[in-house]
Structure 1
């Protein structure tokens, strides 16, 4: 039996996954990267994108992350995401509704309101998430 990689993905809200897998592909800020068991240690930042978990050649899980860090150690791979959502079960209509609600909140704000930047970042994240669902 081939070695397995211990993989954990956590966000501030909760741990989305922890277990043994064959391969993980993640969206690094310097390019997409893959991690297998016994990978050399490194740490990198993540950009918005899809983390794919593979068993053999099959993708078994797709998790959309909004930024964060990936840390590969002799013990495995840990991803600390700013925000993460399992793409299984998310409907495009839900994201579209959330986009519309966020846009309405932004439009209701005074142009100098400091919360506008936070809402804009969330809106951009939702647009990236909706695009990921289309693929």
Structure 2
């Protein structure tokens, strides 16, 4: 097996996940982006959505929801920096449904997008 990617998911207040992976997929302003070993250097803007990481060892997929942020790829190292990142197992579906209802009632499309991404993540888990 080829050498792994080193991936870090970093929120404003903590390192959410750090480890080695075979592949990573994230949503950027230009669409979904997959990163494998040997990817060209890249700096892109993230949009609220789901990040999927296929760990180097093991068969599980690490899933997280991110807010707006940045994705950087260089020398087989991927950094995802966002104000707010949550792993799937950290999300309370009922709280997110309430968050979505508030956003819809207030007409807050950005908050609605963020809550929708969290719900999609919970439904995939």
TM exceeds 0.5? yes
* CA distance in structure 2 between the aligned counterparts of 1:2 and 1:81, rounded to whole angstroms: 29
Specify the alignment match of 2:19 in structure 1. Answer: 19
- TM-score scaled by structure 2? 0.80
* CA distance in structure 2 between the aligned counterparts of 1:59 and 1:28, rounded to whole angstroms: 23
Q: Deviations over 1:42-66 (max 9, x none)?
A: 1111111110010369442100011
* CA distance in structure 2 between the aligned counterparts of 1:13 and 1:62, rounded to whole angstroms: 19
1:129 paired residue among 107, 114, 118: 118
Where 2:8 maps in the other structure, the secondary structure is strand
Where 1:129 maps in the other structure, the secondary structure is helix
Specify the alignment match of 1:110 in structure 2. Answer: none
Gaps of 5+ in 1: 107-115
Where 2:110 maps in the other structure, the secondary structure is helix
1:18 is displaced (CA, Å) by 1.4
Closer, same or farther: CA 41–51 of 1 in aligned 2, 3 Å: same
1:52/1:59 contact within 8 Å kept: no
Where 1:63 maps in the other structure, the secondary structure is strand
1:28 paired with 2:17, answer: no
Specify the alignment match of 1:113 in structure 2. Answer: none
Cα RMSD for the two superposed structures: 2.5
* CA distance in structure 1 between the aligned counterparts of 2:87 and 2:49, rounded to whole angstroms: 12
2:64/2:121 contact within 8 Å kept: no
Closer, same or farther: CA 53–132 of 1 in aligned 2, 3 Å: same
* CA distance in structure 1 between the aligned counterparts of 2:113 and 2:90, rounded to whole angstroms: 21
- Higher relative contact order (CA closer than 8 Å, sequence separation 6+): 2
Q: Which has the larger radius of gyration?
A: 1
